[in-house]
Amino acid sequence: MSHGVEVSVVLPAYNEEDTLADTVAITLETLRDFLPTGSFEVIVAEDGCDDRTPEIADELAAEHAAVRHVHADERLGRGGALERAFRAAEGETLVYFDTDLATDMRHLEELVESVRSGEYDVATGSRWLPGSEADRPAKRGVPSLGYNRLVRSFLRSDVRDHQCGFKAFDRDALFDILEDVGDEHWFWDTEVLVRAQRAGYRVREFPVDWTPKGDSKVDLVRDVLGMGSQIVRTWWQLSVSPRITRRVSLAAGTGLVVLAVLLMTVYLDPAEVLARMSEADPALIAASGLVYLLSWPLRGLRYQDILAAIGYQERWGFLTGAVFISQTGNLVFPARAGDAVRAYVLKARRRIPYTSGFASLAIERVFDLLTITLLAGAVLLGLVLTGSVGELQTALLGGGIGGPEAASGQTAITVAAGVGLAAILAVAAIVASARSERNYARAGVGRLSSDAYADYVAGKLEQFAGDVQTVASDGVTFGRVGLASLLIWSLDVVTAIVVLLAFDVQLSVPALLAVGFFAVSVGNLAKVLPLSPGGIGLYEGAFTLLVVALTPVGAVTALSAAIVDHAVKNAVTVVGGLASMAWLNVSLTTAVERSRDVDADPQD
């Protein structure tokens, strides 16, 4: 690193052919007013431009010894371009401002010296502090004010204006902060300031005179999805994630289940429930376990077809074991940690990349959601055609097992319907896209935005949709996976029906089939949200409410059957998971720990 250059000024430039030369000239002139010759440099951070900006930057670098050009072949985003240029800079004080020179350049000396003097680690101009002069039209001022209030509230920042493009940093402080900065686009400015405050660095904000240059475009994808989601991400990383350990999350999930059980005891006597469970026919309970066991070879075959479609030929037995292990992980650990376990098993035992492991799992989940939604929808249609849907509505709104349970049942139905509808729409869109050569993901996002962040969003959508489309575009594979899914969930329903028969439930065959399909389908949709390990408590609640709403079966019997049904399924899963772990020599705890490192190197 040169000992002569003390200050490095970075000018982020994207398609600035009309203004770049004047901006560089004004910048050099301003710097010469308060810094010795040779103690500063100006770096044009050209960000994949498609106009004459690169050529102009080269000409300026050849003309001025203090000017350098850092070129990017493709768009890096505002934050990405700045970070790349800062790493190439030589100064200990790193500065950047927008090339439109909206901030009055008479503030540049104050900005630079705030950090160069050693008094502060970070300095930023502000258009919202008293004393600032900012000519802000409403279409800029109102969104900016709202955005900054959100950041101050959610991220506990003391800064009033996070996005002012006029900042300076101590080199060591900035590079320390950048280790944790996740955004490479417009949120980069905000995240750097927030993380600097959290890290204890000295941050100075001072008023500036600011005049907008050109027109500003409110970008739906960038401003709403982009900036909003990044506020949530940073809030989660800084305020929530550090407090969520495995012990805390498991305790929280268990606490929800315990609370639900305690509330239920207000309306149901636990002793009656236990007594009713003890009366169940043990032979039929055992038979239900055998029925459920039959679904597992089908799960392995289905997963074999999915992996084969995306290019990986694996043995059925190994894949059945991997599914057993991952589902056991979902029972033992909260937040569906078992899903990541399966990707780890595929990587560790068959060297299938994590990205492919997660893609195959996403495909499986789409088919699961679609299948159980169609099952529930078919039964609901039958209720409508037979005129029985009114009984369901009446029970959920006020009848059945009590007011609070009725409200909960209505909520469960609403959640399940929402998840199911989303699954149907998603699969329909994916299948339609698979039948067309047109890139619907990028075309759809492109209608909303042309920003670099839109490209990032479109890329993520393409990555997911592309893997699912691979299966959807193959008619034979799609049919095989769909049929396997239907058989898997039908066996899940038959298991519940056998359990109901074990409690000597007096229902006609059509009524038994209808309530079995509907209760199991909605119960599984309700537990999509990972509020407890294995959805324990959520499944039983939805199952009980629907059985009571649709049949003359009492609440005690319905709850007893729901508990036994879920317990049988979980017991088969755990036994199969333990056997598979022993066979494949996989430690569930180790798998969970290793799978947490997936994000560090997702391509391995």
CA 73 from centroid of its chain's CA atoms: 29
Q: Which of 298, 461, 463 is nearest to 371 (CA)?
A: 298
User: Dihedral through CA 360, CA 292, CA 296, CA 246, nearest 10?
Assistant: 60
The edge-to-edge listing of strands for the beta sheet with 122-126 is 67-72, 40-47, 7-13, 93-97, 166-170, 122-126, 203-207
**Which residue in the block uniquely carries the two structure tokens 């599984």?**
524
Taking the C-alpha atoms of residue 127 and residue 165, their distance in angstroms, rounded to an integer, is 10
Cβ atoms of 304 and 316 within 8 Å: the answer is yes
Which residue do the tokens 């569930």 mark?
588
Radius of gyration for the alpha carbons in the chain, expressed in angstroms and rounded: 30
What are the residues facing 536 on neighbouring strands?
none
- Rounded Cα gap, residues 463 and 46, in angstroms: 28
Q: Cβ contacts of residue 2 below 8 Å, gap of 6+? A: 90
DSSP string, 45-114: EEES-SSSHHHHHHHHHHH-TTEEEEEESS---HHHHHHHHHHH---SEEEEE-TT--B-GGGHHHHHHH
575: exposed, middle or buried (Cβ count in 10 Å: 0-12, 13-18, 19+): middle
Q: Measured between alpha carbons, how far is 56 from 76 in angstroms, rounded to an integer?
A: 20
How many Å apart are CA 74 and CA 72, to the nearest integer? Answer: 5
Query: Which is catalytic among the residues 170, 183, 189, 305?
Result: 189
**DSSP conformation letters of 348-396:** HHH---HHHHHHHHHHHHHHHHHHHHHHHHHHHHHHHHTT-HHHHHHHH
What residues form DSSP beta bridges with 134?
210
What is the four-CA torsion angle of 519, 525, 529, 532, rounded to 10 degrees?
30
Could you tell me whether strands 7-13 and 93-97 are parallel, antiparallel, or unpaired per DSSP bridges?
parallel
The answer to whether 227 touches 154, Cβ cutoff 8 Å, is: no
Tokens in use for 158? 């003391």
Q: How far apart are CA 495 and CA 499, in angstroms?
A: 6
Question: 472: how many CB neighbours lie within 10 A of its CB?
Answer: 22
> Could you give the angle at which helices 452-472 and 403-434 cross, rounded to 10 degrees?
90
Are the beta carbons of 422 and 529 closer than 8 angstroms? no
Give the distance, in angstroms, between the CA of residue 523 and the centroid of all CA atoms in the same chain: 24
Whether 189 is catalytic:
yes
- As annotated, the active-site residues are 189
